Each structure stands twice: as structure tokens, then as C-alpha cells.
A = this chain, B = another copy of it.
Amino acid sequence: MNPRFQYRPPDFKVSPLSGAPDARFEAAPAAGVLPERFFSTTNLPTYVKVDGVWRRPRLPRMDCVVYRDGSDLVVTEPRKIPKGGRVAVGVMEDGSEGIYVHAEGFLGGRHSANEFGFMQTEVSRERPVDYAVLAQLLGEEKQRGGKIIWVVGPALVHARARQDMIWFIRNGYVGALLGGNAVAVHDLEAAISGTTLGMSSTGEGVEGGHAMHMRAINTVRRVGSIANAVQAGLVKDGIMHALVTHDVPFVLAGSIRDDGPLPGVLTDTLAAQDAMRAFTSQATFAVFVATALHAIAVGNMLPAFVDGSGDELRPLTTICVDQTEFVVTKLRDRGTHQAYGVVTNAQDFMHVLRFYVERWEQAQTPASVSR
């Protein structure tokens, strides 16, 4: 009933692909330094011709290189290339240097009535958001056992969408949560003292409020980890509590503006990138809420599609929620073309989405149960 996107690999038997040369590889002159004409990757399906055979390196992401690791072709960050490592070179993406980026396969299909076409509508607060479709996509992704990653900013907590986020965690819609120190700090401050940035849940300042988040950080540092704070009963509810008690993994990346930071925050940004990419490489669905920095960071790491076995690829649904069109436009300008923008308040988004997901779940229930 809902026709799905069907990826078709390019036809390598017809010209000009049929006559393309093998890709060339050159040695890195030093560790983390690339040969001059290195090929810079995108997040689209990419084919590299080696020994006369077109191969598709898995898990492409933007701004990386194709590295020949033994007989493997690996898409990896330039900084990880060893001295002498063999790196694909070329500046053309049309196959004429043995490398072919299959943009048509994903960005072309505007006219078909499929979910990806739906994903390509313009971003505007004036466009209606079809929460029913979003809820269905999310629900089906859970059903098929996909990995749904959430990338969230502190406004999610600040704006009291916290209960809804907890609901999604408890009900299996969160495969991993990626964020920064602040989102965890605000959530833990709320759990420990009932405030966020010293403001009560009704938006009023409280006495001594500006220090509340520092006290929350100190409490957690004292027991050594967020998990310990949960187990010790110091943190009895909230997003971090739900993640810990439901064994949902999370990555907290450090940033220049962090207070504390909390134990477990990865203060080295390269270590944090690696930790995040471990999750993005398994992701089959992504939701970005109220975070420009992390949305763009994770957008950079994500393939535009879910890599199946063989040639079965499907689009990697990516939803980006922000108060302004700007963040979504920026994300797409930087290559995450598949991002579907929802221009609204994070609190309201979470509330309405949850409402629609609950309704979708009820509609899935067999008749016998609802009797």
C-alpha cells in the first residue's frame, strides 16, 4: 500500500562505466597526510573499480578517504591513514577515474511517490508536518529491529520534553543517544534538584539557582559515574536514569563550553568522534532534536542510506527538528540532503510525535487484544 523506495545499482555494462579504468591508489606521504589528489568521499553509494571489478566500500561518510587495507576497501578519516597507506586518488565522481558516486540512485527519484521523495520537500515552518507518517516510519523501524539513534541538545531537557524522551527510551525507540555534556547536566540537575539551569519546571528562577547545575555535576563526580549515581539512588528519574536502567548506550562528547564535565564525557573530540561513529555506522534511522552542533557532526558521519546485504539499500530516514529553518538548511547545505526538517519547538515536537506513535501502536494491536 505504501510503495517503498527501491534502490537500483548503476548498470556497469554500459558506457561510460563499462570502459572505465581501475581506480588508482597512492601512498600517504606521512601519517595522517594524504596524497595530493586524494578522492574525498560523500555519504552516497560509491563504487571503486579494483582489478576490473566495481566494488562498493561499506559505510561511506562525508569528508573521508577510501583506504586499501589489505584487500579491504575502507572509508576512513584522513587522520587515521598510516604513512605509506594506499589511498584512492581522483577528483572525478563519474567513473572516469575508476570511482563512481551514485547520486542518481538517491537524489534523483523526486517524482516517485515514495518515502524518500517525501523526505525531500523544502524546509519551512509553513509546510505541514505529517506526524502520522513520521510515527509510522519510526514504528516500522522499531518493528524491523533497526538501530534508531537520537542526537539531542539541552533544549530537549530544558523545555520539559523530558517525559516524552523517557517514554521513547522505555518503549524501545532509542538504540543509542548521542549528545554533549550539557544535555546530561541539565537532566541530572532536574533529577537531583528539580530545576534546569536554576529554573523550576514552571519557568521561574529559584534561590541560588545559578549554582544548581554545578551541584549536580559535583554530586555525580563524587560517586564517579552517571551509572553509579543511578545505582546509588541519587538519580531517580530522567533521561540518563532511563538510559542506564534500560541499558541503552550513550555517548557524551565534550565541548569548549562544558562545565564540569561529568564523568564519562569524552573530552577529546577525536575520541568522541570515534565513539559516535561506532553508532552511526550501525544506525538505520536518525532523529536530531534541537542541536546544531551535534546534528551537523553526526550528519557528517552518517551514510545517506542503510547498508543491507548485497545491493539492498534503503534511505536512512533522518529527521531534524529545530526552532528555525536555518539549522535544517545548514545541515542539508553541508551534505545531509536526506534530512527531513521539522520547524517547531522541541517540547511540542516530542509531545505530538509520542501521541502519534502511541496511536500507531494501538492501530497495530490485533483485534483480539482490544476486546
A160 adjacent to B330 (CB under 8 Å)? no
Can you identify 13 A-B contacts, CB atoms within 8 angstroms? Answer: A36-B218, A38-B218, A91-B208, A125-B159, A126-B158, A126-B333, A256-B276, A256-B294, A257-B294, A258-B269, A293-B293, A344-B345, A344-B348
Q: Known contacts A124-B329, A208-B91; is A222 also within 8 Å of B255 by CB?
A: no
Whole-angstrom CA separation of A355 from B270 in the bound complex: 41
Return the contact of A78 from the options B42, B63, B125, B218 (Cβ within 8 A). B218
B256 adjacent to A269 (CB under 8 Å)? yes
B348 adjacent to A300 (CB under 8 Å)? no
Whole-angstrom CA separation of A36 from B222 in the bound complex: 10
B40 adjacent to A159 (CB under 8 Å)? no
Chain A interface, number of residues (Cβ within 8 angstroms): 85
CB 8 Å contact bits of A110-128 with B (1 = contact, 0 = none)? 0000000010010011111
Verify if A171 is at the interface (C-beta below 8 Å from B).
Answer: no
B158 adjacent to A259 (CB under 8 Å)? no
A210 adjacent to B40 (CB under 8 Å)? yes
Whole-angstrom CA separation of A118 from B204 in the bound complex: 8
A321 shortest CB reach to chain B, Å: 10
B256 adjacent to A345 (CB under 8 Å)? no
Return the contact of A259 from the options B91, B268, B300, B355 (Cβ within 8 A). B300
Please give, as numbers and ranges, the residues of chain B lying within 8 Å of A138 by CB-CB distance: none
Return the contact of A160 from the options B128, B259, B333 (Cβ within 8 A). B128
CB 8 Å contact bits of A27-64 with B (1 = contact, 0 = none)? 00110111010101010000000000000000000110
Whole-angstrom CA separation of A73 from B210 in the bound complex: 22
Verify if A68 is at the interface (C-beta below 8 Å from B).
Answer: no
A203 adjacent to B256 (CB under 8 Å)? no
A194 shortest CB reach to chain B, Å: 13
Closest 10 CB pairs of A and B: A40-B211, A344-B345, A348-B348, A257-B297, A254-B269, A128-B160, A256-B297, A253-B256, A127-B203, A40-B214
Whole-angstrom CA separation of A61 from B186 in the bound complex: 20
Give the one of A30, A273, A292, A355 with max B CB within 10 A. A273
A7 shortest CB reach to chain B, Å: 22
Verify if A264 is at the interface (C-beta below 8 Å from B).
Answer: no
B345 adjacent to A210 (CB under 8 Å)? no
Return the contact of A260 from the options B79, B130, B218 (Cβ within 8 A). B79
Verify if A326 is at the interface (C-beta below 8 Å from B).
Answer: yes
Closest-by-CB residue of B relative to A35 is: B218
Please give, as numbers and ranges, the residues of chain B lying within 8 Å of A300 by CB-CB distance: 257, 259
Whole-angstrom CA separation of A218 from B64 in the bound complex: 12
Verify if A20 is at the interface (C-beta below 8 Å from B).
Answer: no
A47 shortest CB reach to chain B, Å: 18
Verify if A174 is at the interface (C-beta below 8 Å from B).
Answer: no
